[in-house]
Amino acid sequence: MLNMIIFGAPGCGKGTQSKLIVDKYKLTHLSTGDLLRSEISSNTELGVIAEKYITKGNLVPDEMIIEILKKAIDNRPDKSNGIILDGFPRTVAQAVALEEMLKNRDMSTVVLIDLHVDNHELISRLLYRGETSGRCDDNLETIKNRLEVYISNTVPVCNFYQNLNKYKAIDGMGTIEEIFNRITLVLARCT
Ligand code: AP5
Ligand code: MG
């Protein structure tokens, strides 16, 4: 079973690389951003609350997202070879909760892959996507806050996985294929 985390700043390519990884390794893709956006588009109570945070580029509360992720893990299709977490964990409290919830299910994470991309490139990718994505958080003001929140709340998660000996950093600059090749090299050593 391959349970992994794809990690990195907003716009680093988590969603893009997840698609390729899912195809090759037959994993279940669990993107907390996608889960929240689907709550928003279904206009659920959760969605109404989440939208207020997402629009500003702030993180939704830990307890809320941990509950959402737990449900998603328990509802995953049993035929997949594992899970790929995209956008979770985003705080150390989420990382602690994740390791605990997996342990309770006889599962564990194998590796966290951190995609390193220059700030300038992140902003230009997100602004470009914002021209067509319809995402309420793909505008310059919100992007700047997302990047600040990433540094202050999310980067500490790296240290948590370094201490578990599960942390791998990858150069996230270059073409989508180049980056995917780097990821498969890391995964080849984990599986
Ligand atoms: P989330 O949906 O997770 O967004 P994000 O982390 O800000 O990242 P993105 O989805 O924008 O980027 P990505 O890394 O997936 O890159 P992508 O492949 O799309 O979260 C959104 C919000 O939800 C958060 O701000 C928060 O409010 C809330 N939230 C979610 N999870 C949460 C949690 N755990 N706790 C609390 N709150 C949470 O690529 C970006 C663009 O670049 C695309 O257009 C793509 O085509 C392009 N691109 C990709 N790779 C390349 C390349 N190599 N070269 C050129 N362009 C490329
Ligand atoms: Mg994404």
Regarding pTM above 0.95, the answer is: yes
47 lines ligand 1 (CB under 6 A): no
Spacing of C-alpha 118 from chain mean position: 18
pLDDT of residue 39: 96
- Residue by residue, DSSP assigns 161-185 as HHHTT-EEEEE--S-HHHHHHHHHH
Task: Residue 56: give the domain boundaries.
Answer: 4-190
Question: For residue 59, how far is its CA from the centre of ligand 2 (angstroms)?
Answer: 14
pLDDT digits (tens, 9 = 90+) for 43-60: 999 999 999 999 999 999
Question: For residue 61, how far is its CA from the centre of ligand 1 (angstroms)?
Answer: 18
Q: Could you give the C-alpha distances from 186 to 11, 22, 76, 166, 169, in angstroms and in order? A: 21, 15, 25, 11, 9
pLDDT digits (tens, 9 = 90+) for 113-164: 999 999 999 999 999 999 999 999 999 999 999 999 999 999 999 999 999 9
**CATH number of 33's domain:** 3.40.50.300
Report the number of distinct structural domains present in the chain.
Answer: 1
What is the mean predicted confidence (pLDDT) over 24-41? 97
Ligand 1: residue of 6, 7, 12, 16 to mutate (most ligand atoms within 8 A of CB) is 16
Please name which of 108, 120, 110, 104 lies closest in space to residue 9, comparing C-alpha atoms.
120
